[in-house]
Structure 1
Amino acid sequence: MSKLIKAISIDPTKRTIEEVEIEARNLGVLYNHIGCRTIDFVCRMPNGDALIVDDEALLSDPQPPAFKFAYFLHRIHGIALVVGSNKNGHTIEPKLTFQQVRNLTKFLGEVRTEPFMNVLSWE
């Protein structure tokens, strides 16, 4: 069992935002919490925080309900976890507070987003 950390869970189906404890280094726990088979880290912020999301949510039919997160250009479908990262890239507790996440989140409900892929070059 890996160390438990606090994360912030955003659930657009229930329209809830709550603090949760997760095993950050256990993929099975992340898959179960989000309800998916593959994850992605999106919306990487300068403070090291990011959102863990269902990498295949846009391929679902129907797509899960969505929300908008202020620091991210695209809609996010399904449950997301707000987490932080340290200088070694390990997942840690987020620097954003629960109240900040509430203020940055807008639930959108049942909307459709066309699947897309972004490629980011580091050069």
Structure 2
Amino acid sequence: MSQTAGQLVTETLEPERLLERAPSEVVSALEALLEEGEQELIRVDSDFTAELKYGRRWVVVTSRRALVLSVVGDLMADVDIEDLAVTRVDSLVGGSQLTMERKTAPTIRFAYSSTEAVRP
């Protein structure tokens, strides 16, 4: 908000987006999963599976929730934003990890190598 000549002016800012190109299977899955009006704010992939083996996973964040999908579009986690207690990125040897601590369910860890940490 700003003030101009005694009037209060409210600006609506469009959120910045980080949307990496996803395989068609992931795009199709997202089209089916996202509700009307729900827009992707972040879509990034990882080069590690949940078992910390080399492979691909995707995390998608909207204003309502965070989704984790496999490389073929299978839904692995669907977290309501209101259920997130803490979200942080932890540095690891050779990479990093997005940690989503939930209030009512187990923590989700989304590890990726240092190669994936560098985003253009």
Q: Which has the higher contact order (CA 8 A, sep 6+)?
A: 1
TM-score by length of 2: 0.35
Which of structures 1 and 2 has the bigger CA Rg?
2
